[in-house]
Amino acid sequence: MRAALTAALLLVAVPAWAQPCRTAQGISAGQPAPCGGLLVPQADAVQALRCLRVDLPGCRADVIRHQTMLEASAAQVRRERQLCDDTLEQCERTARRAAGISRPLAEHPAVWLVFGLAAGAAGAYAVMRIRASE
């Protein structure tokens, strides 16, 4: 709290004649500032620069590396799930064959062939009736 109050006072109490700093300058405690701006301890400035120049790029590289690893893991999970689905389907077919159960009627291609032929014939008949009534 005290540090925040001191920083606020420094910002408010900057003399009107002070010009903004164009470059970073080191000053000692008690020495008047040659220009206006935000004053921070040297250790904090060094830590901030280290964060910007070293930690942040390193963090970005870590994020990219982790993202790549997660995408590879997700692709592996999708492949394994597909393999499990295929295996389950194969097991279900094998179990139905072993139990003597044929696949459901709706899954049989012949049913859909007959349905398609019947729908086509009904449509053709309807068109012929409509044309005949004109």
Q: What is the pLDDT of residues 31-79, one digit of tens each?
A: 777 777 667 777 777 787 777 777 778 888 888 889 999 999 999 999 9
Residue 11 scores a pLDDT above 90: no
Structure tokens at 12: 């408010």
Per-residue pLDDT averaged across 73-100, rounded? Answer: 90
Per-residue pLDDT averaged across 101-110, rounded? Answer: 73
- Is the pLDDT higher at 100 or at 10? 100
Q: What is the pLDDT of residue 18?
A: 55
